Structure 1
Amino acid sequence: MAGVLARYRRTLIECTKYHLGYPYNLDFDYGSLAQLQHFSINNLGDPFIESNYGVHSRQFEVGVSDWFACLWEIEKNDYWGYITNCGTEGNLHGILVGREVFPDGILYASRESHYSVFKAARMYRMECLKVNREVISIFLTAALGMPESLVPVHLLWVHLVTDGSAAIALGFNPADVDIMQKPPQKGNDTLVNSWVLFRYMHHSQLEAVFLLFQNPVTIFSTGSVKATTLSLTVLVASEVFNSLNALSEDNSLVTMPPWTNPWLLVAMSVSFGLHCMILCIPFLANMFGIITISVKEWLLVILFSAPVILIDEKRMLQSTSSIVPFLQTMTAKALES
């Protein structure tokens, strides 16, 4: 047993060398708690309900909660909580609160998210979507033996920065113009039906193909750095343009033009502005391993990214359910005037 523990200790020491700390604080000393290690202490998960289990740390947990509440100037009756060691309980509680606020909401999560996110989705019976279109392009690039076009920092930039503003702006989408002409949903209707799922997969595959086709063309002509720059720019532009397709699930941009949600236009400008910033500022360009691109190359980016709008519009225009209500509304307004 002593040998097993010694090997385990060496493993912990080695792994801690590469541990940045999150979500823990590495600057700690548990020496003062050594005298308590012989007791089976339980942390009670509620500050208001007493327990018949006498060996607990409830008074300390309440004290810590009170200390932070005082720090943030929160009134006594406006908070409650308990102390945990990691993020599982925090994710469970946050998702629960989100479901209470948005009962019909959809949970979006990266495939690399903490397991508790998907555990909570199953527990609360919520729709959980994991759409990583850029992962498809990375997989195909590796499968074909091509040089990598995107690295992790690029994916983080797309998800956390350029996608963030558009995702927030889409929350201000107006109601569909034909919403009163649609029948109410049935009680057993799913949030994500087969058509919506097909649409998501179709967009993901299209963007992956655009990235995959653009990358070798640029590698062979101008080198891998320029290819990486154009791949990242195509991905960003595709995501930004694809946000226009999210204005409405059933209506074309002819029916609901982009200016129906001016916040989305602002968000798109912010996303492109941030991307131009990392392209033009040398310090940031070196950090991301990219270089500035010319006007002609910007036209190439638009050529490979704008089709996500045109393809979705073709699908919308083929559906009379999006055009007929619009024409009827316009005709009625003309007759009234």
Structure 2
Amino acid sequence: MSGASDRLYARPVPCFEARPGAWRLAGSRVFFREIEVLRRNASPEILPVDAAVAISPVLAEAVGRAGASRPDLAGVSLAKPAIMGVLNVTPDSFSDGGVHEGVAAAIGHGMAMAEAGAGIIDIGGESTRPGAQPVPEAQELDRVLPVIEGLRRAGCPAPISIDTRNAAVAHAALSAGATLFNDISALTHDPASLEVARAAPALCLMHALGDPQTMQRDPRYDDVLLDIYDWLEARVLAAEAAGIPRARIAVDPGIGFGKTLEHNLALLRRLSLFHGLGCAVLLGVSRKRFIGTLSGEGDAARRAPGSIAAGLAGLDQGAHLIRVHDVPETVQAVAVWNALREEGAGE
């Protein structure tokens, strides 16, 4: 997976004060005054924004997109970081499989996350952990639809996202009241998904290398950051060509989905590159294996501190949404992060 060797990429270098000449990063509470110009097989070069945009129209376009505010996504304001609460209704998800498998338990947990401050509830009926086997569509529907319908009946205040690769599941979930189609395959798994996504109020396109059964078998990239940027750019363009505006799209680099520890760290360190796509940026790091590797914590359910640290690092790169299992703890951490950033934002 590689792009043109002479292409230039613009990564805003985050800063935290609105000094003269600073641009706000994608409407977030983070700013940038410099651009790290990236190119394959060449050393990065850091330039003032004005100098970078004068080099080429490609850089100017990316900088312009990175400096533009993002509209609400699925009815959720992105002016401050939003939290997506994970609600897996599966027996085999990597950290919470079986915990919320029953409909009543799942509805109760979804309501609790919304009341704790989750801006979106993301419901999944098929585990996509490394090595997971596909689930028949009928079984996936049986798992997710009663939960979506139950949350709607219970007056859930948060929008609902459906985490699926399958068009029929997404269509049924949207009809039942979901508002965001969150596809880990970025509409490549099911040929009918693009048509379903066209009618969805919001869409998330995620990068994954291969499928869950194969993605962690020696993943390789020419340049993990630029390869994934190019791939997501192609998927955004495909969605746009189908009539889905960027304002309705979030992108997710897919931490842990066909990535080694070093791949994951490289993406987190330079996450701000993806603002050049002109979409909201979603980051999912919660409880993932790389956190266990770095911390020595083998129990995924005990990785909340590491998950929060990685999530806040994403916010420092301008991420708009973070997808988490531990909602109350993350809400508390983000509230403190927001307070610390308010002075720099001049608010």
* Shorter-chain TM-score tier: under 0.3
Give 1 or 2 for the bigger CA radius of gyration. 1
Q: Which has the higher helix share?
A: 1
With a CA cutoff of 8 Å and minimum separation of 6, indicate the structure with the bigger relative contact order.
2
